[in-house]
Amino acid sequence: MEYNSGTSALHASLIAYGFGPNDEVIVPSFSFISTANSVLFVGAKPTFADIEETTFGLDTNSIKSKINKNTKCIIPMDYGGMSCNIFEIKEVARKNNLVLIDDSAESLGSSVNGKKIGSIADLSIFSFCGNKVLTTGEGGAIVTDSKEIYEKIKLIRSHGRVDTVAYFDNSSESQYTYLGYNWRMSTLTAALGISQLQKLDKIIKMRQENAKYLSSRLSKFSQIKVPNPPSGYDHIYQLYTIRISDSKTRDKLHEHLTRKKIFSRVYFSPIHLTQFYKERFPTDSWVLPVTEKISQQVLTIPLYPNMTLEEKEYLVDSISEFFEST
């Protein structure tokens, strides 16, 4: 079901499952801030678990160590176009009777062992904001195979109104049965989304080809680790993120690329270290060594479907220039 953002989709999902005060939800700190904020929106507590190095997604051992009697849900995140270790996380969720909501905002179209992201967790959300593979400017969606949750997210999306006929075409009085918001996607935006959806496979293919080119050129630098999807993981490269083990070198490369007018950015700095979370939760309550290490090493560099050979070469040459001068 379409929503007006990935964040409202997350928020609505947590309302639909009825989470609130005294409930805890396990989330990564290595994510966009709204993964954790959505838990706060409903008055529940986000509990940060650590990530694994292979997928940058939640680590099952860390998840297990955070589960207590108040834990109700796990929200893993599929980083930059590739799934987290979703099947093992699902197993942990099942064994502990927890709801599994996949924050797949960044990974529409990717799959693991042939299973599409969005078809594995109890519920998954997507985002269509400006930097996503499919964008409508702003937008989001929720997918679930639960009829009960589907009916709730439909009510939450639009004022708690039972719409059997499109509201703006309906001359009869409406029934309001739930507390709802206006989190609808506009029909204009949805039309844009549908036209993008038809091109999704093509867009992904172009991204994958560009990623292949960049990886083949960049893997010759011993200082760089290029993305390396584990076997069975289909990466759609919403982000093309390299790793540089020394954070000072990473920061200098970022500055060098900025001087060369090339956009690069750290996705993500840990959520638990943002000012807002530090003020709300003492940082010593979290022990997240892999999250803190990875966030010191990652740098996302440009990759987009219609990137020309000249642009790719300019990027690789600029990186090469940096390493030759250091």
Ligand X SMILES: Cc1ncc(COP(=O)(O)O)c(C=O)c1O
Angle ∠(161,42,81) on CA atoms, nearest 5: 90
136 binds ligand X (CB under 6 A): no
Q: Which residues contact 110 (CB under 8 A, 6 or more apart)?
A: 78, 81, 82, 83, 116, 117, 233, 234, 235, 236
d(CA 109, CA 142): 14
99 vs 125 by CB, closer to ligand X: 125
CB of 248 to ligand X, least distance (A): 27
Angle ∠(265,267,268) on CA atoms, nearest 5: 130
Q: Which residues contact 92 (CB under 8 A, 6 or more apart)?
A: 60, 63, 64, 67, 74, 98
129 vs 262 by CB, closer to ligand X: 129
46 vs 224 by CB, closer to ligand X: 46
d(CA 185, CA 43): 25
140 vs 227 by CB, closer to ligand X: 140
Position closest to ligand X via CB? 6
CB of 140 to ligand X, least distance (A): 5
Residues 61-100, one symbol each (x = binds ligand X by CB under 6 A, - = not), give ----------------x-----------------------
5 binds ligand X (CB under 6 A): yes
Q: Which residues contact 73 (CB under 8 A, 6 or more apart)?
A: 14, 17, 19, 23, 25, 26, 98, 99, 100, 101
21 vs 130 by CB, closer to ligand X: 130
CB of 136 to ligand X, least distance (A): 10
Q: How many chain residues touch ligand X (CB under 6 A)?
A: 14
User: For the packed helices 147-157 and 6-16, what is the interaxial angle rounded to 10 degrees?
Assistant: 120
User: Is 101 in contact with 73 (CB distance < 8 Å)?
Assistant: yes
Q: Which residues contact 167 (CB under 8 A, 6 or more apart)?
A: 158, 161, 174
The interface with ligand X within residues 93-132 (CB under 6 A) comprises: 103, 105-106, 127, 129
User: Is 304 in contact with 209 (CB distance < 8 Å)?
Assistant: no
Residues 26-55, one symbol each (x = binds ligand X by CB under 6 A, - = not), give -----xx-xx--------------------
Residue 266, φ and ψ in degrees, nearest 5: -90, 110
CB of 81 to ligand X, least distance (A): 10
The interface with ligand X within residues 285-324 (CB under 6 A) comprises: none
241 binds ligand X (CB under 6 A): no
6 vs 180 by CB, closer to ligand X: 6
Name the one range near ligand X by CB under 6 A: 1-9, 43-51, 281-289, 314-322.
Answer: 1-9
132 vs 243 by CB, closer to ligand X: 132
Binding footprint of ligand X on the chain (CB under 6 A):
5-7, 31-32, 34-35, 77, 103, 105-106, 127, 129, 140
